[in-house]
Every structure is written in C-alpha cells, then in structure tokens.
Amino acid sequence: MAMSAAFVTVLVLAWLKSPDPALATRPSSAPAVEPADCGRPGGWAQAAQANAASLDTLSWPLSGRDQLGWEIYEPLAEQQVASSCPADSPAFAVALERWQAAHGLPASGRMDAESFETMWIAMLRRRPFVQAMRLGCPPPAAASQLELARPEETYGRQPTIMARREALAAYRSMLAAARAEVPAIRSDPEALTIVSAFRAPQADGGDCPAGQACFNLTRAACSVHRTGRAFDLYLGAAPGRDPTSTADDNRLYQARTPAYRWLVRHAAQFGFLPYAYEPWHWEWTAPPSG
Ligand SMILES: [Zn+2]
C-alpha cells in the first residue's frame, strides 16, 4: 500500500483538475463534545462498532489503488469531524453524521469510502502548496530567506538544516508549547526534532536518476521542501524503519504517538498543516513577509 511521493503528487494533481469548492471547507475548530461524553449518545452503538471494524477493513481508493483501513488517519478524522472522541465511540459517530450531512453525503455516522475520500481530498486541498501547484512548481526559497537550525533542534544533530526564517520561528514556538503541555514530548529530547526541512531543487526527483531512491527517499518531481516551509519532524519509527518510511506499520506507529496527536490538535495554531499521508511532514502556511 505504500506509495512514492511522486505517485502521490500525480494523484494530487489529478484531483485538482476537478475542483469542488464544497470540499475545501475547513473543519470547525471547537470539538463538538468532551471526552467524558464519548460513550454517552444513545442509539449510536452499532455505528460505533462499524467504525471500530472499518478502521482495519475499510477499502477506499487512492488514485485507483485500494487502501485498507483508516486507522493511520484516525487522529486527522477526529479533527475533521470536530470530535474529541475516538473513532470507535458513539460520540464520534454522531460527529461524523453531522459532518457527512454538512458535506452532502449520506449521513449514517459510519465511515464509508465516499466519506473518507471526501475527507482526504479536503485535507489535501487545504495545503497552500497544492493550490500553488496549479501554476506549476513554485520557486525555491532564496538563501536570504533561510535560517540555519541549531544542531540540537535537529534529529541526529545535523549541522546544515535550514528553513524559512519565519517558519523556523513558528516551529520553535510550537515545540516549546508541545514540551510544556505533553510530558512524553518534554521527556524525549528527540521528539519533534527536525529530520529535514529546506531541500534545494537539485534534491527533487527530477535530478534523481530514474529508478533510484536518492538519499533513501523516492523524491517528488517538485517537493514542497524547496520552499523552506516544510518540516519533517521526528515522531519515532516502527522497529527497523526509517523515521520517514512510508511503510504502513511505520505510519501507524507514528499516528499513535502523543506527539502526533498533539500536532493534529494544535499545530494549526502555529501555522502548520499536516500532509495526511506522511505523519512526520508538516507545512508552515503563513504568507511570506518578503
Ligand atoms: Zn517532508
């Protein structure tokens, strides 16, 4: 089920050719219910059971390829339907039913392929980079716009990681807040350190010899990393996996971490949006100041 970044880019562009403004709506910011009420709503037990099962079994298409299950994306789905409750709870079913109705979908409270695909596309279209790609690959950040991260801010104490100055400042504020609020992040000096940020256009797939995974990555033909706004953050890794491995077991491992769940809830406050397929990848979205 793992896909290359280039494949995903092709997929995004295919979706952009058939825009549907109704899909670009942002999720409401306030959770609809409190966690203590997750099991309370009556009459939704069967929908909750169906959602619990579909986490592993839902078949949904991604550019013609069947994907199995949506547990990797469960934290994002909670946020999309404005629920504080897990997908196997009656309260999530209620929130999903409300979200389905608002998006003109059959309102069953059960996650189905159409609902999940709609949710997926809405998340992709929120990314400014995806919008910018309508006009072609955006230019890279200028050297004068970039700032060097401190080695201790990077995974493996890398000395040459750079990002846009404003994005790096936003990252620092976000990390401070995450450490203040989440003990598991505070106690792990590597948690949310920067694995990668700015990458020069030469690092894009266009300059990667065909058939080779340069630097252990299968490169997109035009990567958002050239803008200096994209950060790959360390969320740990499944046994034997690289921190940016797209293997399902790795992405599921990361999706379950307190750090990822915190990012899904709070990163937008600092200007960062997720890329659903890669839990580690976050993009700073505030406009450039020049
Ligand atoms: Zn990335």
User: Which of 44-58, 200-214, 216-230 has the highest mean predicted lDDT (pLDDT)?
Assistant: 44-58
Distance 195 CA to ligand 1 centre (A): 9
Task: Give the Cα separation of 21 and 290 in Å (integer).
Answer: 29
In this predicted model, what pLDDT tens digit does every residue of 158-178 receive, in sequence order? Answer: 999 999 999 999 999 999 999
In this predicted model, what pLDDT tens digit does every residue of 227-280 receive, in sequence order? Answer: 999 999 999 999 999 999 999 999 999 999 999 999 999 999 999 999 999 999
Cβ 216 vs Cβ 241: under 8 Å: no
Instruction: Annotate 79-139 with DSSP letters as a single string.
Output: HHTT-SS-TTSHHHHHHHHHHHHHTTS---SS--HHHHHHHHHHHHHT-HHHHHGGG-SPP
The proportion of the chain whose per-residue pLDDT surpasses 70, expressed as a percent, equals: 81
Provide the b/e sequence for 213-229 (b: ≥16 CB within 10 Å): eeeebbbbebbbbbbbb
Distance 192 CA to ligand 1 centre (A): 13
Q: Region 94-110: what's the mean pLDDT? A: 97
Distance 38 CA to ligand 1 centre (A): 34
Distance 31 CA to ligand 1 centre (A): 28
pLDDT at 8 over 90: no
Distance 129 CA to ligand 1 centre (A): 12
Distance 48 CA to ligand 1 centre (A): 34
Distance 52 CA to ligand 1 centre (A): 30
Distance 233 CA to ligand 1 centre (A): 8
Distance 39 CA to ligand 1 centre (A): 37
Distance 281 CA to ligand 1 centre (A): 4
Domain ranges of the chain: 27-125, 138-284
Chain mean pLDDT for the chain: 86
pLDDT band at 286 (very low <50, low <70, confident <90, very high): confident
Protein residues with C-beta less than 5 angstroms from the ion ligand 1: 232, 281
Strand partners, 160: none
Higher pLDDT, 15 or 151: 151
Angle 229-230-236 (CA atoms, 0-180°, nearest 5)? 145
Residue the block writes with tokens 């789905």: 77
Q: Region 121-142: what's the mean pLDDT? A: 89
**Burial label, 64 (beta-carbon count in 10 A; 0-12, 13-18, 19+):** exposed
Distance 219 CA to ligand 1 centre (A): 10
What pLDDT was estimated at residue 36? 62
Distance 204 CA to ligand 1 centre (A): 12
In this predicted model, what pLDDT tens digit does every residue of 145-159 receive, in sequence order? Answer: 999 999 999 999 999
Q: Which of the listed CATH numbers 3.40.50.300, 3.40.50.720, 3.30.1380.10, 3.40.228.10 matches domain 138-284? A: 3.30.1380.10
Distance 84 CA to ligand 1 centre (A): 27
pLDDT band at 219 (very low <50, low <70, confident <90, very high): low
pLDDT band at 65 (very low <50, low <70, confident <90, very high): confident
Distance 19 CA to ligand 1 centre (A): 25
| Side-chain-facing half-sphere of 4: CA atoms under 13 Å | 16
What pLDDT was estimated at residue 130? 86
User: In angstroms, how far is CA 235 from the centroid of its own chain?
Assistant: 12
pLDDT band at 135 (very low <50, low <70, confident <90, very high): confident
Cβ 238 vs Cβ 174: under 8 Å: no
The proportion of the chain whose per-residue pLDDT surpasses 90, expressed as a percent, equals: 68
Amino acid at 160: T
Distance 37 CA to ligand 1 centre (A): 36
Angle 2-67-116 (CA atoms, 0-180°, nearest 5)? 125
- For the chain, how many helices (H) and strands (E)? 10, 8
Residue 154 DSSP label: B
pLDDT at 3 over 60: no
Task: Give the Cα separation of 68 and 65 in Å (integer).
Answer: 10
What pLDDT was estimated at residue 1? 40
Helix, strand, coil proportions of the chain in percent (round to 5)? Answer: 45, 10, 40
Distance 197 CA to ligand 1 centre (A): 7
